[in-house]
RNA sequence: GGCGUGGUGCCCAAGUUGGUCUAAGGGAGUGGUUUGCAAAACCAUCAUUCGCCGGUUCGAAUCCGACCCACGCCUCCA
């Protein structure tokens, strides 16, 4: 089966062909670093991680760039509110963002371009657009892109510029623009900007939001690259504007595949700062939820499907991850050498997983193959039928698939500070009690550790413990 | 107003170029095996049914028409 993706610009699934054979260049819109990202934001970054990991699973050499927006209305306003410099503010949340990515086991992008480091290149692109007649200057020293000059404007979002102009919002829109939907490439300096400004051919000011992604993607991935992602809310106006800028500036194709992930919902409403119905990663971790369960929850609903967040779902996710991990551990510790080599089972599982994922990352279909493997593997081990080489093959396949899922190596515990020596001594004490058939004492010790968040599991291989 | 997405068992969810769907998989439940008891695992059970109505067809969750409901974009936003 061919790898296919739903391409927003054509509103249909298309076979994926990279520009350079075997290589994929992808640009993923990153966060504006003025505050902690919430898990709705992370749903998109998680989707992009899944996409990247799956492309790698399929053998592609992937180059990913993710921008960090470190200058815009929000960052400037917030830094002034807090009385700190723009850099102080954005450094804080850049660090928090990278820490969160690590917690969620999201593979780092190869590049994290920051808008403030590409000002010269942005000025150059704006100048280029102005020179070609696509942009005009206004009284306040801003430069706007004239969408009337670009015939294909609205193609990505499927919006008709004519109709956009007729809305009741025209009156709220800015004054100096010629067309209501024209957008700023460069913003002339205003007093509210404080000391945030750069010199330009149009006087001092700062770049518009959209130009940053056009410039940084081009600088790092070339004028024409394979995949551009973001949340569905980026479709319009951000990505639409990027296309207009880039295509007009370079005269070339910009991006081949536009992939967008759906929202994370809370009580069927979009999770957002303005509705104040959001959870940050830190909120959930503080409540005792494990990062691997959060990752699982965000990753296992198809990316173009709205996902309704609930604590209940986190519980389900935690149990599913636990099952996967226990199977993985059981394979590692499996000692019997039975007659079944399971070549067909392994091959079938691999194909089923791949065929499902090839179809626009159908994770549910892929996971059904994985859980079928779990079930059949356990059954064979229960009956001592699985061979050692078979166990090794299943184990290897699980690891290969986990390159995509990325949960096996994650810690399920919420508290890493436990005294292992103490636990081991308690286990020993309990084993002595069990050997003497003093089950009351044995259970008392188990309850004692349970109160500390430690769960004991008796296996044929001895007593194991894990964090609950 | 324009554009768009989704409604499948108790919950989540795949399948939607018609037949292999007598509807995958996960979570929960129920009965059993195993275990000192647990945990995990295994066995069995869990939708004559896919929002509603009508139509096309030998055959529809999948196609057509109407309707109901939920959500989103058209404004900064993952």
Question: CATH no. for residue A24?
Answer: 3.40.50.620
* pLDDT value at A293 more than 50: yes
For residue A415, being part of any structural domain is answered with no
For residue A66, what is the enclosing H or E element?
Answer: strand A61-66
Same domain, A229 and A326: no
Same domain flag for A253 and A110: yes
Helix (H, G, I), strand (E, B) or coil at A308: strand
Helices marked H in A235-280 = 240-250
A372-391 tens-digit pLDDT: 999 999 999 999 999 999 99
Other CB atoms within 10 Å distance of the CB of residue A318? 19
Q: What's the pLDDT at A459?
A: 80
pLDDT tens per residue, range A111-123: 999 999 999 999 9
Domain region containing A173: 4-270
**What is the average pLDDT score of chain A?**
92
What's the average model confidence in pLDDT over A238-248? 97
Residue A275 lies in a domain: no
CATH number at residue A373: 1.20.120
List chain B nucleotides near protein: any atom < 7 Å from a Cβ. Answer: 1-6, 11-15, 24-28, 35-43, 70-78
Question: What ipTM was reported for this prediction?
Answer: 0.95
Which residues contact residue A294 at a Cβ distance below 8 angstroms, ignoring those fewer than 6 apart? Answer: A39, A104, A281, A284, A314, A317
Which of the nucleotides lies closest to A365 (Cα–C1')? B14
Q: Measured between alpha carbons, how far is A466 from A322 in angstroms, rounded to an integer?
A: 11
- Does strand B come within 7 Å of the CB of A169? yes
Quick check: A173 pLDDT over 70? Answer: no
A312 CB inside 7 Å of strand B? yes
pLDDT band at A427 (very low <50, low <70, confident <90, very high): confident
**A410 occurs within a structural domain:** no
Q: From the CA of A379, how many Å to the C1' of B44?
A: 15
A414: confidence class by pLDDT, cuts 50, 70, 90: low
Count of domains forming chain A: 3
Domain contains A294: no
Residue A426 has pLDDT above 90, yes or no: no
Residue A305 lies in a domain: no
Residues A211 and A325 in one domain: no
Nucleotide with minimal C1' distance from the CA of A363 is B14
Q: Which residue has the higher pLDDT, A437 or A208?
A: A208
Six-digit token string for A458: 């008796």
A293 belongs to a structural domain: no
Q: Are residues A351 and A211 in the same domain?
A: no
Domain-embedded: residue A280? no
């Amino acid at each position: 089966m061919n790898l296919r993706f739903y391409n927003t610009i054509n509103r249909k699934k298309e076979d994926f062909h990279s520009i350079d054979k075997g290589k994929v260049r992808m640009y993923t819109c990153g966060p504006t670093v003025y505050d902690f990202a919430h898990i709705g934001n992370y749903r998109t970054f998680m989707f992009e991680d899944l996409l990247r990991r799956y492309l790698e699973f399929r053998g592609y050499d992937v180059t990913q760039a993710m921008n960090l927006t470190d200058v815009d209305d929000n960052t400037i306003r917030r830094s002034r509110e807090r009385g700190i410099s723009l850099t102080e503010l954005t450094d804080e949340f850049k660090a928090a963002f990278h820490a969160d990515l690590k917690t969620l086991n999201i593979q780092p992008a190869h590049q994290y371009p920051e808008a403030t480091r590409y000002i010269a290149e942005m000025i150059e692109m704006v100048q280029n657009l102005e020179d070609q007649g696509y942009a005009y200057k206004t009284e306040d020293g801003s430069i706007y892109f004239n969408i009337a000059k670009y015939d294909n404007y609205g193609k990505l979002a499927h919006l008709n510029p004519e109709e956009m102009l007729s809305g009741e919002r025209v009156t709220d829109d800015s004054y100096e623009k010629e067309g209501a939907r024209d957008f700023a490439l460069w913003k002339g300096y205003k007093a509210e900007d404080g000391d945030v400004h750069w010199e330009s051919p149009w006087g001092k000011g700062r770049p518009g939001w959209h130009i940053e992604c056009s410039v940084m993607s081009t600088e790092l991935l070339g004028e024409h690259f394979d995949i551009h992602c973001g949340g569905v809310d980026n479709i319009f106006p951000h990505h639409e504007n990027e296309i207009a800028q880039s295509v007009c500036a370079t005269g070339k194709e910009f991006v081949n595949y536009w992939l967008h992930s759906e929202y994370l919902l809370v009580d069927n409403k979009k999770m957002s700062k303005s509705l104040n119905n959001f959870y940050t990663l830190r909120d959930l971790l503080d409540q005792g939820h494990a990062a691997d369960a959060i990752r699982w929850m965000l990753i296992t609903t198809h990316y173009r499907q709205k996902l309704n967040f609930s604590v209940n779902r986190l519980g389900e996710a935690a149990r599913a991850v636990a099952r996967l991990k226990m199977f993985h551990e059981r394979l590692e510790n499996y000692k019997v050498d039975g007659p079944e080599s399971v070549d067909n089972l392994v091959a079938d599982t691999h194909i089923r997983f791949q065929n499902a994922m090839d179809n626009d990352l159908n994770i549910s279909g892929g996971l059904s193959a994985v859980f079928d493997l779990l079930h059949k593997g356990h059954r064979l081990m229960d009956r001592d039928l699985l061979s050692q080489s078979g166990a090794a093959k299943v184990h290897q396949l699980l690891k290969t698939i986990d390159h995509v899922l990325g949960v096996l190596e994650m810690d399920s515990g919420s508290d890493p500070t436990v005294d292992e020596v103490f636990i081991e001594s308690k286990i020993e004490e309990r084993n002595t009690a069990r050997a003497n058939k003093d089950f009351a004492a044995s259970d008392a010790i188990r309850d004692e550790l349970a109160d500390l968040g430690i769960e004991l599991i008796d296996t044929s291989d001895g007593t194991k413990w894990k964090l609950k």
